[in-house]
Amino acid sequence: MLKDFLARAGWMTKVLVGISVVVSVLTLSGTNQLTGYLTFDWQLILEGQIHRLITPIFLHFMIGSLPIHLLFNMMWLWDLGGSIEKERGPWYLLGLVMVIGIASNMAQYFGELWMEGYVSPRYIFGGMSGVVFGLLGFIFMRRKFDPFFRVELHPGIMQFMMIWLVLGFVLNSTGMIGIANAAHLIGLVAGGALGVLTAKIKAF
């Protein structure tokens, strides 16, 4: 059973999962000073620290005292990312992760700026969930416009993730928990757009 589970993901998926786990350990789930080197900061990005465009996807935080944030995201990355990697290869997956990750990170940062009028230096967000929603959107739209694309989604997955997307906005409105809803939404849209685009460009 373990062998079958490990075989579901290629080496790039395993590397992305590994980086996320290592970052979570080294940053103590986003609570120590090392975290500050990986957060999204537009001013520092403009000054040349371009790694910050993507590194927030590797930051994961505790929910209560449990690593649910990390485990949930890694489970979906392993499943969705692994399936795409098996079909299209490791660099194809990495390209999707980079584009979706940057789009979702920028959406979360500038969404905060738009809503609040400023972004506090202490504002920290992170997680692979924007990418996960993007991979979901990519597979769904790619299948819709390219029936020969061999990665399939279980019918219940899309419904479950859409419920979770809506639930995130509800939970944020109550102040119970902070969820990166802009990253989720724009990640989904960006992934869907890439699914349509690559379906139309047959070489990809």
Domains and CATH numbers, the chain: 2-200 (1.20.1540.10)
81-88 mean pLDDT = 96
Q: For residues 52 and 43, give the distance between their C-alpha atoms in angstroms, rounded to a whole number.
A: 10
Q: For residues 181 and 37, give the distance between their C-alpha atoms in angstroms, rounded to a whole number.
A: 23
Asked if residues 69 and 61 have their Cβ atoms less than 8 Å apart, the reply is yes
Please tell me the predicted confidence (pLDDT) of residue 151: 93
Name the nearest CA neighbour of 135 among 178, 87, 68. Answer: 87
11-37 mean pLDDT = 97
Predicted model pTM: 0.94
Query: Model confidence over 129-175: pLDDT tens digits?
Result: 999 999 999 999 999 999 889 998 887 888 889 999 998 888 887 77
Per-residue pLDDT band at 176 (split at 50, 70, 90): low
Name the nearest CA neighbour of 100 among 198, 2, 31, 15. Answer: 198
Q: What percent of the chain has pLDDT over 90?
A: 75
Q: Which amino acid belongs to residue 108? A: Q
Range 145-177 burial, b when 16+ CB lie within 10 A, else e: eeeebebeeeeebeeebeeebeebeeeeeeeee
Provide the greatest CA pair distance for the chain.
Answer: 51
pLDDT of 34 > 70? The answer is yes
Q: Which tokens in the block code for residue 166?
A: 């809506």
Please give the mean pLDDT across all residues of the chain: 92
pLDDT of 177 > 90? The answer is no
Residues 6+ apart with CB under 8 A from 105: 40, 53, 54, 56, 57, 125, 130, 183
